[in-house]
Amino acid sequence: MLNEHDLQGIYVPVVSPFTDEGLLDLASYRTYIRNIVSRDIQGLVINGTTGESPTVTWDEVAQMVLAARKVMDECKASLPIVVGTGTNDTMSSVQRTEAAAALGADAVLVVTPYYSRPSDSGIIEHFRRIAAVGIPVILYEVPLRTGIALSVDTIRRVLDIPGIIGMKDSTLTMQLMEQLAVYDTKPILCGHDLHFHDMLVRGAAGGILATANWNTDAFSRVYQFIKLGHYPQAEQQFSSIRPFLELLTQESNPAPMKWLLKHGGMIATDTLRLPMTPISEELKLKLTNMMHKF
């Protein structure tokens, strides 16, 4: 299982490949995972936002976890697997967390409860009950998708819960990272790809980065440069991929990433489950033109 000292580096949130008919495509998934685990990364995240967690069934999550383990065994790779188990219902989240533990997950990623807009005390108790399952928990703060932004005080109280080992910060500014950096807090992972370099400079331990599915080695180099104190090289490396990242965030994740992975032959289709739809023809053209520069 993961602990807070292990929670560093590049974690890749994987996509859930589908057939043209919208069924889970395990053949594509195995090929794709084999490619990802060969990179210099520190872990995988299954059933996160990038994996279309709102429309993937738990049975499909279980199949992907077991398939990823089998592929890693075949490749003689050993990477931790983090599974997204958070919902806006505490009981459901606890049950999914128990199921993830039974599958052998190394940690779970738990999003702030969405839609209900609970009180701070309700949010803290939500995480306390999930952490009581006994598998390490990573708090996932993403206000753009949940409709609620946690205060620094509430985040600190959640991070103080035994079993909570860190946090994925997917807020849209540096403010939260700067506020938390004042305290001796548990590891913070960047979840907003365009902020990766700036968050590392401010003390982030790494990132859970959707675009690391494609720019894996570049993100890894940025992380290693910062770790070694080579700040100009880190900034130069990140600046070189920034235009591509800006394109990839023009339309909702994971649609652009699925198109890229299909284009690169790693998955068979760029099919998404409604209400998500494939990227626009305009973005396809922009990405095609940009790819020739990399």
For the chain (length 294 residues), average pLDDT per consecutive 10? 96 98 98 97 98 98 98 96 98 98 98 95 98 98 93 97 98 93 93 97 97 95 98 97 94 97 96 97 94 69
Q: Which of 18, 11, 64, 19 minimizes the C-alpha distance to 36? A: 11
The distance from CA 195 to its chain's CA centroid, rounded to whole angstroms, is 14
Active-site residue set: 140, 168
Burial of 80: CB neighbours in 10 Å, binned 0-12, 13-18, 19+ = middle
- How many residues make up the chain in this entry? 294
pLDDT of residue 291: 81
Distance CA 237, CA 271 (A): 32
CA angle 31, 34, 38 (to 5 degrees): 145
Distance CA 275, CA 261 (A): 20
Q: Return contacts of 117-120, CB within 8 angstroms, 24+ apart.
A: 117/147, 117/148, 118/148, 120/150, 120/151, 120/153, 120/154, 120/157
Distance CA 292, CA 259 (A): 16
Cis peptide before 162 (omega within 30 of 0): no
pLDDT of residue 294: 58
